[in-house]
Structure formats: structure tokens, C-alpha cells
Amino acid sequence: MHKTDLIVVGGGLVGMSIAYGLALLGRRVTVLDEGDDALRAARGNFGLLWVQGKGYRNAPYAGWTRQSVALWPEFNALLHADTGIDVHLRQPGGFQLCLSDEELAEETRRLVWLQEAFDGDYPFELLDPTQLKKRIPGIGPGVVGACYTPMDGHVNPLKLLRALYAACQTRGVKIVNGLSVEGIDQHASGFELRAGEQRFCAEHLVLAAGLGNRPLGAMLGMDVPVRPNRGQILVTERLQPFLQYPTTYVRQTDEGTVQLGDSLEAVGFDDRTSSQVMSEIAARAVQCFPRLGQVRMVRAWGALRVLSADGYPIYEAAHDSPGAFVVTCHSGVTLAAAHALRLAPWIAGEADEPAIRPFNLARFKGMREVHYAH
Amino acid sequence: MPTETLFRRLQLADKYVQIEFEGTPLTVPADVSLAAALLTHDLGATRESAINGRPGAAYCMMGVCFECLVEVDGQANCQACLIQVVEGMRVRRQRGARDLLIGGQGDE
Amino acid sequence: MSDPVVDLIIIGAGPAGISAALEASAHGLEVVLLDEQGSPGGQIWRNVAQADTRTRQVLGSDYSAGQPLVEALLASNVRYQPNAAVWQVTEERCVHFLLDGKARVLQGRQLLIATGAMERPMPIPGWTLPGVMTAGAGQILLKSAALVPQGPVILAGCGPLLYLLAVQYLRAGIGIEALVDTSERRDVFKHSRQLRQALAGWRDLLKGLSLLATLKRAGVKHYRAARNLRVEGGRRAEALCFDSDGRAQKVWASLILLHQGVAPNIQISQSLRADHDWNEQQLCWVARRDSWGETSLPGIFIAGDGGAIGGANVAATQGRLAALAIAHRLQKIDACRLQALSKPWLQMLGRQSAARPLIDALYRPLAQNRIPHDDTIVCRCEEVSAGTIRGYVELGCLGPNQTKAFGRCGMGPCQGRQCGLSVTEIIAEHRNVSPAQVGYYRIRPPLKPITLAQLASERELETSTSSTPERSLS
């Protein structure tokens, strides 16, 4: 029988960020995780710290996203101090490249809405092709314009995952992997989790298991409306640095490879790639940067986003199971800093966090599930 | 100076072609792969890796290992073991990652 | 290549692929045979139709034995397509490939994977230096370009191919500096249990023994039971150091050819997520197949070394059997005829497979050459060392997909072909569990690099087939 202050179920970016935040507060934490072949959004994401356009018609989400991005330098410094791992945080601002006037108009409309929602405090620029080419060499003639905000950035998401593991280990977090939680019992003293022959006990429980939150929540009588949404990403061979800015479809990593993506597909739990979607992604990338046409793709993957019924995060302190929390989102990279430095103190009971109140489960009552990401 | 050439023809080839390696003309057997052709001269490493500059040269000869990458006629990262040598080919060592904005085709 | 749907697509024109194509074609199937090389024969009979007399003489009779089959293929109705690089295969048996730089797609009613074997990686210190190659590479150079070593050459490792290449070099008049053998003569007695079984395959065993005898007569310096192999050199290989006969040895050579057996090339079957098992006897992953070669995916068969290592003869027989099963499936032959036609092949397969357990045991690669010390590179593409992998296991990685995410091991252009077996075994040893519990890389397309322009051009092709999973955006 293992006993700690808190158990976090899920060893992805969300679970590990929270575990790290809790460890920073001196809590004793156990993370329970599945094995090598688990569905892992943390292994498949694009690495953007993205603000631009997020939270259109949902200002609290936009605000929460901005808060996290603002916290990222501090979060990065903590991780670096604990592990020595450079996760390659860069926040030079980002570009949404538009291939049609309609796309540009739509994007502009969103940004204008957000700027109004923030009383003008939402910087962005619209660039015509000539201005854009000065900022980003190699842009193709198919790009009719772009939106730029200085708020966006990117990071190496795999180095982030490794840094979180190393930092958690340094801070005494116990990571138990290769198991899946089969039952949760609540006693007066807290929770007991069953996984095969093993038992884990803790006063507090955080469900951060991505798509696993649905069955895990059900064990506590909660309906957690999360669904998979597939995104496919292509990666090219390494290139000399040519693109320092993140864009929504094309991002050059610190290793030199170029990530291209991504798609939004409701295909259930199928995380394979499909040549049709891959060819569309490739075509779009070549339109954005024609010289990429001669570059070789060396890897591709499908990964499943964890999408709630309205596309926004879920931060729930369970009513009927005091001490249990449910955390779900599809922006584990962007929100990692807020999860470690704001959400973890809230879970630990050390701080109130009004910004997350709109993201409880009650909002889904009577709502139809949608399949889009925001 | 003793030669460090690794391979030679079992017997003279019927036909030879001229190629250029790093600007130097080389006479090589025709009708063989570029990697095989390069192995008939003392060239040492034919690439420097994009990771940390590690010297590399042809290793598996069957398209699996990607150690034989060279630049051919301005096209970066070509697997020399999978392409036939052609008269007049201009070959260079693949030094690190390719540069998207220099050389090759695809100008916008 | 106008009709996008054919009866049977075969990938790989080696012994298995050619035999299957001829058999299937003889029963009236429309067969497309795709191969990456420029001429048929696979690696074993590579270039056999073009090789000159002197090269044939050097390579010996097993090589020339492929010629009739290759000639029969070229004279047959089989639509043989050389220079086709297959980069994606789907469960619906759609094969995506590049030909002359253009993307193509074909769908088969049935599919046979006959992609053969790859050399098992031999990650010893210094194995990435220029001048270190595989014995298989040495043989390919001999077959495809009539090239032989110019200066001092060392052959190191174990397995029949190593001896065969040594003998071929002798026939070519090439002096071998040393044969550094990691196996031991007394190994034979350890494995006497298999001897009775092996007697049925005595020809294969005699072949191995006679090769050794030839080498001995020629006075080749043969070190046995070599341990702690290490290539020395700065920017290129200069010498091989090892322990043998109870002392440290150092042999100078600019060319060092390594070999420790072959393993099935499972990239396609893994990418299809067919069921695979760890084979402890052959120390590799093998796709689960029924007696005809069909995998866990209906209509997708594997024949030859791509399924499990059996050698060229076994591959050819398995190709025949798979083709017969496929002909039956497509109602070209009835059950009776299938039975009658397959019987002699099944009997032959029994004889051909008899010596395999002994060969596997005799030439089992050493643990120290499969699971290297910390500072040896295992992933050549991303230059990740064994010690780094062990460090990731300490951080909580249970398998190769997690270590890949943590440190890029297996992410390079070779798609883990060179490091996959090593990484699984390193993790298994460090966790003290079996490789079966560790698992293998999740292989995904592209199986071969494809340019973005080529990939983008697939959009036009896709409309002509109704076969791939549709994108269903809600």
C-alpha cells in the first residue's frame, strides 16, 4: 500500500505539470501512469505556446491562456534550475498565415473581437505579403496575408515532457508507471485506487488522464465529457534555421526539423495517419513555403487531442467526492505554466483561483457535445 | 603515401565515367551506384552529421542506414547507395543539415 | 500501371517475391511485383542477370542459382516494377510508392510482403567510423559493382554470411587480415539437442563446415571466441581491438566488415499494426502468421525472411505456398487442388527448415554485441548512446516509444531500422524483463522519405481509389 498526500492519475504534460506544481509546494505526490503504448497526446503535440485567436467568444479562456504564457518564463526558469534541461522556450510572437482573403477576414474578425474584449489590450498586426516577406523570407505567393501577435511562442514539447519527469523526480515525486487504474474507492480518510494487485492511497486525487478521465470520472460518479480528436503532424528532415517564428501550420524546431500540421478529425480512437490528410497538410505547407516542396518528410503521426464537449478545459473540484479534482485540456503545452503555478496551488488549497471558475463541469449540463477544437 | 582507398574493381570495368567530387574530377566505373563509385577513391568521410558533425560514410549499401548522404548536383541529402552514377555528376559532402534558402530548385 | 486494383501486389523481388509471383501468375492471377532495386533478385541474387562471369565465379553456385528464376520472371506475365520505393501500405492493401520521383497508389485484392531481412545491427565502440561497413554491404558491392577490398580487411562477428564472404574474397584473390569470430567451436556440443533435428538439413550444415575448412586451408588468421570488440580510429577506422586466446589483440585495417546475422525487415508489417511476437531463438520480432503466411490482417501475407529468418530456399518455398493460398482465396484453384499443389512444397519446407534451430544456436550473437556499454552509439541517425537510453529508463520510460519521445532515439530517417532491436534489448536488460514486455517502436509512414511535393501530389491520385480511410470531419 502506497500512501502520499496526493495522487495524480496521468503522466502526460497536464498531469506532470500539476505534479510538479504540487511538489514545488512541498506536497508528497504520486503519479500513476500507463505503459509505453498508451495513447499520449503529450508525445504528439505541435509545441506552440499559442494565444492568437484562442478564446474567441470566450474571454475567460483567452485570459487564462494569456496568463499561462506570461507565466512561462518563470516556469521555464524553475524547470531549468531543477534539471538543467533547456526546453528551448522562445516567445518571438507568431504568425497565422492565410491562404485566402476569406481566411484573413475571418482571422481578423476574431482578433478584433478579442481586442475589444480586452479593452484594447490585445496587440496584433495585419501584414500584407510585402510586409510579411520582410519578416519571413521564403514565403510563397499563395499567402495573401498574415496576422501577427507578439504574444505567441513555442517550445520543444518532448524536451518539456522529459524536463517535467526529471524535475518531478528531483523534487521527490513518485512515478509509478505501467499500470492502469481499475477502481477508485472513497473513504473518510481519502481515496484508495486499485490497479491490478496494487493499492494507492491519498487524501487528494487529481484525474489528469486525458481521454482516460471519462472512465475514471465515471468511477466517482462524474460525467466527464471528453472525446478524442485526431491531429496529424508531419516532420521533415533537419534544415538550417530558416524560420524563427512559430506559425499555425509550419514550425521549425530547435533541432532543425520542420513540423507541419495539423488536422482536426473526429475519428474515434484511431491514431493512425491517413495519406489524404497528410497530402493536404503537405500541400498547404508547400503553399506557405514553396521551397519545402523539395524537402523530405521523415516522420508523420496521428495523435488524439483531448477535447471537452465545448472545446475548453475542465477544472473541477468534485462536489460529491471532496478532495477529488478533474483536469482536462487540449493545450497541455501552452497551459503548462498555469497548471504548475496557478492550478496546483488551487488544488493544494493554498490559493483561490477565480480565473478557472468558468471551467467547471456544471457548464455541460444539457449541452450537446461538439467535435471542434478552439 | 599509402592509399586508403577501400575498394577496387575485381577486373576492369567495360566503361568508366567522369564525375566531380568536391570540385575534383574522379574516374569511376559506370553502371554502379554512386556510393560504390565513391568507394573506389580515397575520400574518407563523405558526410558530416547534422547532429554534431560526426564523420560518416557508406555503411549498409542497401538504403537502410542513411550514412551515405551526399549532395548531388545541388540536391542535398541524397542516398548515394540508391542512385546510379552518371557522367558529369557534381557531388559534394553532405555537411550538416541542408539549407532551405540556398541552392536547389523551388524558387518562389 | 493503369488499373489501380489488381489481384495481387507483391512487395520485394527476392526469392520469396519472385517465386510467389511466378506461382500466382501461373494460376491466372494478375500480379504486380514492386521492388526497390533496379533489377530482380533481392539482396541474395542481386544483379544476377547482369553479373559478369568472373563475378559469378567468385560468388559461387548459390548466387548463380537465382538466374533461372530471375529469367523466368522477366519472361512471365507478372507486371514487374523495379525502382519502386514503397512508403506506405494500408490495411485495405493500398500500396503507396514512388516511381521516377512520382507518387503512385495501387490496391491489391491480396497483398504479399516479401521484403526479406536486414543485417542485425552490431553496435560496438567505433562502429560508426568511416571504413566500418557490414559484411552484407561488402557482398552487395561485389554483386552490384564487382568491387573487392583494396587494402587490409577484417571480417568480424558471426554467422554464415561472414564465412561465405571470406571465401568469396579468397576466390577473388583478396587477402583477409583476420576473421574475428565471436562464436566458439565448442558451441556445437552445447547444442547437440538440436543435432538430430538438423540431420535432415545436413546440406546446409556441411556448407558452413566446408566454408570454414576452405578458410583454414587458405591460412586465414581465424580468431575464435573474440570478446570486447572495439574499432579504433580518429576520423576513420584504423584497427580492430578485441580479446581472444586469453589476451588483448589488435589488428590493423582500414576496412572492417561487421556481421552478426540478419533479422526480418518488419517495417511494413509493424506499420500495419499486425500482431508480432518476440522470437527468443532468433532474437527478433516476427509477425504472427498462419501456415500459409497470412498475418493477423486478412488478405495480407508475408513470405521469406521478412517473416522469420529461414534463408533463400525457405523463402522461395514460402512464396509458392502463399501464392497458392492466395490463388485459392481468389477462387482460381479449389480446395482439392490447393491441397495437392501445396503438398510437395510443404514437404520441402520441412527439409529446408530442419537445420535452422542449430544454425540459430550456433551463430547466436553475443549479448555484449547486442546490448552495448553506455558510451556506444546505438541510434546512428540521432546519435543516441546506450547510456542515454538507460538514463531514460531511470526517468521512468518503460519502452522504446517513451525513450524515443525523451531523446529522439529512432526518430531519424532510418525510422529505427538500425537501432530498434538494440533499444528494445537495452531497455529489457535494464528493467530486467523480457523484450516481449518492452515492445517495439510504433512504426508509421513514411517507410521511406518522400518529399512534400510528392506527398502533396497524392491528392490527385487519391480520388481514383475508393480505398483509404476517409477523413470524416464533423
Q: Which residues of A61-70 are buried (b: 16+ CB within 10 A; e: fewer)?
A: bbebbbbbbe
Q: Are residues C125 and C249 in the same domain?
A: yes
Residue A349 within a domain: yes
Q: What residues of B are in the C interface, CB distance below 8 Å?
A: 3-11, 13, 29, 32-33, 36-37, 39-40, 44-46, 49, 51-52, 54-67, 82, 84, 106
Residues of A in contact with C272 (CB under 8 A): none
B105 has pLDDT over 80: no
Residues of A in contact with B104 (CB under 8 A): 291, 294
| Residue C177 contacts residue C257 (beta carbons within 8 Å) | no
Residue C466 within a domain: no
3-state secondary structure of A111: helix
Which of the 8 DSSP states describes residue A341?
I
Q: Has this prediction a pTM greater than 0.95?
A: no
- What is the pLDDT at residue B107? 38
Query: Does residue C400 have a cis bond before it (omega within 30 degrees)?
Result: no
Which of B77, B97, B100 has its CB closest to that of A291? B100
Q: Are residues C133 and C238 in the same domain?
A: yes
- The residue among A97, A139, A237 with the most chain B CBs within 10 A of its CB, best to mutate, is A237
**Residue of C149, A55, A274 lying closest to B8 (CA atoms):** C149
Which of A237, A291, A293 has its CB closest to that of B101? A291
**Cβ contact (<8 Å) for C444 and A272?**
yes
| Residue C152 contacts residue C253 (beta carbons within 8 Å) | yes
The CA distance from C196 to A40, in Å, is 50
| Residue C306 contacts residue C269 (beta carbons within 8 Å) | yes
Instruction: Output the domain CATH number for residue C389.
Output: 1.10.10.1100
Instruction: Output the domain CATH number for residue B27.
Output: 3.10.20.440
Q: What is the 3-state secondary structure (H, E, C) of C142-176?
A: HHHHCEEECCCEEEEEECHHHHHHHHHHHHCCCCC
Instruction: Provide the residue range defining the domain that includes B35.
Output: 16-95
- What is the pLDDT at residue A176? 94
Cell numbers linked to C372 = 552495448
The CA distance from C120 to C136, in Å, is 10
pLDDT digits (tens, 9 = 90+) for A316-345: 999 899 999 999 999 999 999 999 999 999
**Cβ contact (<8 Å) for C150 and B6?**
yes
**Cβ contact (<8 Å) for A240 and B100?**
yes
| Residue C306 contacts residue C16 (beta carbons within 8 Å) | yes
A264 confidence band (pLDDT: 50, 70, 90): confident
Residues of A in contact with C442 (CB under 8 A): 37
Smallest Cα distance from A268 to chain C, Å:
10
The CA distance from A89 to A335, in Å, is 14
Q: Are residues C70 and C187 in the same domain?
A: no
Instruction: Give Cβ neighbours of residue B51 (< 8 Å, ≥ 6 apart).
Output: C382, C383
Directed axis angle between helix A59-83 and helix A157-170, to 10°? Answer: 60
Residues of A in contact with B73 (CB under 8 A): none
Which chain B residue has the Cα nearest residue A289? B108
CB count within 10 Å of CB C199 equals: 12
The CA distance from A140 to A250, in Å, is 13
Residue B28: left if φ>0, alpha if ψ -120 to 50, beta else—which one? beta
**Cβ contact (<8 Å) for A36 and C451?**
no
Instruction: Give Cβ neighbours of residue A364 (< 8 Å, ≥ 6 apart).
Output: A223, A225, A308, A309, A310
**Cβ contact (<8 Å) for B101 and A294?**
no
Q: How many domains does chain B have?
A: 1
**What DSSP string runs through A17-74?**
HHHHHHHHTT--EEEE---TTS--GGGT---EE--TTTTTT-HHHHHHHHHHHHHHHH
Residues of C in contact with A371 (CB under 8 A): 474
Q: What residues of B are in the A interface, CB distance below 8 Å?
A: 50, 75, 77, 96-101, 104-108
Smallest Cα distance from A80 to chain C, Å:
16
Q: Are residues C147 and C228 in the same domain?
A: yes
Q: Mean pLDDT in chain A?
A: 94
Burial status of residue A150 (CB atoms within 10 A of its CB: 0-12, 13-18, 19 or more): middle
B1 confidence band (pLDDT: 50, 70, 90): very low
Handedness of CA C159, C163, C169, C174 (dihedral sign): positive
Phi and psi angles of residue C388, each rounded to the nearest 5 degrees, phi first: -60, -45
A81 has pLDDT over 90: yes
Greater confidence, A373 or C332? C332
Smallest Cα distance from C458 to chain B, Å:
19
Task: Number of A to B CB contacts under 8 A, please give it.
Answer: 48
Which of the 8 DSSP states describes residue B57?
-
Q: Are residues C187 and C274 in the same domain?
A: no
Smallest Cα distance from A285 to chain B, Å:
13
C205-212 long-range contacts (CB < 8 A, ≥24 apart) are C205/C355, C205/C358, C205/C359, C207/C160, C208/C160, C208/C163, C208/C359, C208/C362, C211/C160, C211/C163, C211/C164, C211/C166, C211/C167, C212/C163
Instruction: Give Cβ neighbours of residue A198 (< 8 Å, ≥ 6 apart).
Output: A2, A176, A179
| Residue C439 contacts residue C399 (beta carbons within 8 Å) | yes
With a CB-CB cutoff of 8 Å, which residues 161-180 of chain A face chain C? 161-162, 165-166, 169, 175, 177-178
CA B73 to chain centre: 11
Q: Are residues C108 and C144 in the same domain?
A: no
Residue B24 within a domain: yes
**Cβ contact (<8 Å) for C396 and A165?**
yes
State in Å, rounded, how far the first CA of chain A is from the last one: 41
Smallest Cα distance from B51 to chain C, Å:
7
A60 confidence band (pLDDT: 50, 70, 90): very high
Smallest Cα distance from B17 to chain A, Å:
28
pLDDT digits (tens, 9 = 90+) for A180-216: 999 999 998 899 999 999 999 999 999 999 999 999 9
With a CB-CB cutoff of 8 Å, which residues 271-300 of chain A face chain B? 289-296
Q: Are residues C303 and C377 in the same domain?
A: no
**Cβ contact (<8 Å) for C452 and A297?**
yes
Instruction: Provide the residue range defining the domain that includes A21.
Output: 2-81+157-226+310-364
Greater confidence, B106 or A183? A183
The CA distance from A148 to A2, in Å, is 50
With a CB-CB cutoff of 8 Å, which residues 36-65 of chain A face chain C? 36-37, 40, 42-43
Q: Are residues C182 and C72 in the same domain?
A: no
- What is the pLDDT at residue C114? 98
Query: pLDDT digit of tens for each residue in chain C (474 aa)?
Result: 445 799 999 999 999 999 999 999 999 999 999 999 999 999 999 999 988 898 999 998 889 999 999 999 999 999 999 999 999 999 999 999 999 889 999 999 999 999 999 999 999 999 999 999 999 999 999 999 999 999 899 999 999 899 999 999 999 999 899 999 998 765 555 555 555 555 555 556 666 677 778 888 888 899 999 999 999 999 999 999 999 989 999 999 999 999 999 999 999 999 999 999 999 999 999 999 999 999 999 999 999 999 999 999 999 999 999 999 999 999 999 999 999 999 999 999 999 998 888 889 888 999 999 999 999 999 999 999 999 999 999 999 999 999 999 999 999 999 899 999 999 999 999 999 999 999 999 999 999 889 999 999 988 775 444 333 333 332
3-state secondary structure of C443: coil
Residue A33 within a domain: yes
- What is the pLDDT at residue A184? 97
ipTM above 0.90, yes or no: yes
The CA distance from C194 to A113, in Å, is 78
Q: Are residues C12 and C84 in the same domain?
A: yes
Q: Which residues pair with C86 in a beta bridge?
A: C97
Instruction: Give Cβ neighbours of residue A171 (< 8 Å, ≥ 6 apart).
Output: A20, A23, A24, A82
Q: Are residues C292 and C396 in the same domain?
A: no
Which segments within C288-440 are labelled E, that is strand? 300-302, 377-379, 384-385
For chain A, give the percent of residues with pLDDT over 90.
Answer: 86
CB count within 10 Å of CB C225 equals: 17
Residue B10 within a domain: no
CB count within 10 Å of CB C68 equals: 10
**Cβ contact (<8 Å) for B10 and C172?**
yes
Q: Which chains touch C (3 or more CB pairs under 8 A)?
A: A, B
pLDDT digits (tens, 9 = 90+) for A30-44: 999 999 888 888 778
**Cβ contact (<8 Å) for B97 and A289?**
no
**Residue of A64, A20, A22, A50 lying closest to A333 (CA atoms):** A50
Which of A255, A279, A300 has its CB closest to that of C459? A279
Q: How many domains does chain A have?
A: 1
Q: How far is CA C100 from CA A207, C10, C85, C332, C448, in A?
A: 52, 19, 10, 34, 14
| Residue B84 contacts residue B31 (beta carbons within 8 Å) | yes
3-state secondary structure of A222: coil
Query: Does residue A82 have a cis bond before it (omega within 30 degrees)?
Result: no
Which chain C residue has the Cα nearest residue A259? C452
**What DSSP string runs through C50-88?**
T--HHHHHHH-HHHHTTHHHHHHHHHSS-EEE-S-EEEE
Residue A282 within a domain: no
**Cβ contact (<8 Å) for C445 and A292?**
no
Q: Are residues C402 and C418 in the same domain?
A: yes
Cα dihedral value C80, A300, A209, A351, nearest 10: 180
Q: Are residues C312 and C409 in the same domain?
A: no
Instruction: Provide the residue range defining the domain that includes C190.
Output: 121-260
CB count within 10 Å of CB A239 equals: 25
| Residue C354 contacts residue C198 (beta carbons within 8 Å) | yes
CB count within 10 Å of CB C410 equals: 29
- What is the pLDDT at residue A367? 75
Residue B58 within a domain: yes
Residues of C in contact with B65 (CB under 8 A): 380, 414, 417-418
Q: How many domains does chain C have?
A: 3
H helices within A237-359, ranges in order?
A: 275-288, 336-338, 344-347
Cell numbers linked to A151 = 504574444
Residue A297 within a domain: no
State in Å, rounded, how far the first CA of chain B is from the last one: 49
**What DSSP string runs through C219-274?**
T--EE-S-EEEEEE-SSS--EEEEEETTEEEEEE-SEEEEEE-EEE--HHHHHTT-
